[in-house]
Amino acid sequence: MKKRKLGLLLSAIIMASVLASGCGSSGSKYASSTAEFATEEAYDNSFESKSVYQAEGAMDDLESPMEADMSSEVVDTSRKLITTMNVSTETEDLDSVLFQVQNKVKELGGYIESSDIYNGSSYSGSRRRNACLTLRIPANNLDKFIEVVEDSTNITNKSTNVEDVTLNYVDIESKKNALTSEEKRLLEILEKAETVEDIITIEQRLSEVRYQIESIESQLRTYDNKINYSTVYLNIDEVTKYTDTAKKGPWQRMKEGFADSIVEIGDFIVEACVWFVVHLPQIILVILLLVVIFFIIRAIDKAGKKKKLMRMQQMSGYASGQIPPQNMQGTAPMQSPQETNNQKDNNG
């Protein structure tokens, strides 16, 4: 009789916890139907086996877990808001602004989640410095931090996103309360269990409940961190002149545009001079190489012209008969027919 009573009570606790977890904060609406369903299931199970989950005559205990779940729920009427901001700013002194931002974040009780500072590169040709920071600021001090940023920099873009997670938060809390109540009742039943089979079955269910509670608590901690600490993505660019966000007329724009063009030309000349002086050794080396190559080509060209001129002179001599013709291999000069006959007569 005692085993059956414990079995029915455990079945009622499990069913009540499952339904309470699924319904969240709306569990009170279905309290009566849940109790009725649990009663019928427990009554049917009493005729199938004689384990710890069998019971009869435990109808008086069915409402206790449901009442415990409803009474243990903590109704939090405050809104759960997650705030995220994206801020783009300009400054003429990046180091000074970074120092102010870091001190203010520490003063307000926040922290820097990530930091990426770029100091320019001669290889990329860009000397522009900037910093990208991810900051976590207490939600109640967010306005104070933004005021400091507005005072020390020129804000070019600012956007805010607020996410209301109140319903999700309350639903998760309700599931946690239901599981906590089930855990308490399981511990009470475990103390009254008599057989090893009953103890093992209850401990298995107890392990599942505790695992679910830990998972839910992890979700709640994540929510609490995002709710209590707003996230600020701060991008700071170092510039020589602030961007004017006010609307201007045509004449004002032409005037400022002309002045900016003059400044840009001056900057270009300065940068060109700097580049020339920095790369002067390479320039001198290239010039020397070009001079050497020029004289080598000139010498080769002169030699070719001289050789060509000599050939032309030889050909002219051959044509006029002043120079006896010679073959290209350096053989003896060719003799005329008269010279050949005279030579034969002398030899004869």
Chain-centroid distance of CA 192 in Å reads 55
Judge whether 13 and 43 are in contact, CB under 8 Å: no
- Same domain? For 234 and 150 the reply is yes
Q: Is the residue at 69 inside a domain?
A: yes
More confident residue, 250 or 170: 170
Judge whether 262 and 175 are in contact, CB under 8 Å: no
Shortest CA distance to 186 belongs to which of 51, 22, 52, 49? 52
- Same domain? For 63 and 132 the reply is no
User: Which CA distances in Å does 54 have to 50, 174, 301?
Assistant: 6, 29, 115
Which alpha helices (DSSP H) does the chain contain, by range?
A: 2-23, 31-45, 63-72, 94-107, 142-152, 166-192, 196-228, 250-278, 280-320, 337-347
- Same domain? For 182 and 55 the reply is yes
Q: Is the residue at 314 inside a domain?
A: no
- Same domain? For 96 and 195 the reply is no
Whether pLDDT at 24 is above 60: no
pTM: 0.55
- Same domain? For 233 and 135 the reply is yes
- Same domain? For 109 and 158 the reply is yes
Report pLDDT for 215.
95
- Same domain? For 111 and 256 the reply is no
Q: Which domain does 122 fall in, by range?
A: 81-166+229-238
Tokens (6 digits) for 92: 């003429």
Q: Is the residue at 17 inside a domain?
A: yes
Judge whether 16 and 185 are in contact, CB under 8 Å: no
- Same domain? For 234 and 139 the reply is yes
Q: Is the residue at 334 inside a domain?
A: no
Q: What is the pLDDT of residues 187-235, one digit of tens each?
A: 999 988 888 998 999 999 999 999 999 999 999 999 999 999 999 999 9
Q: What is the pLDDT of residues 92-120, one digit of tens each?
A: 899 999 999 999 999 999 999 999 998 87
d(CA 89, CA 237): 6
Q: Is the residue at 313 inside a domain?
A: no
- Same domain? For 16 and 114 the reply is no
* Structural domains in the chain (count): 3
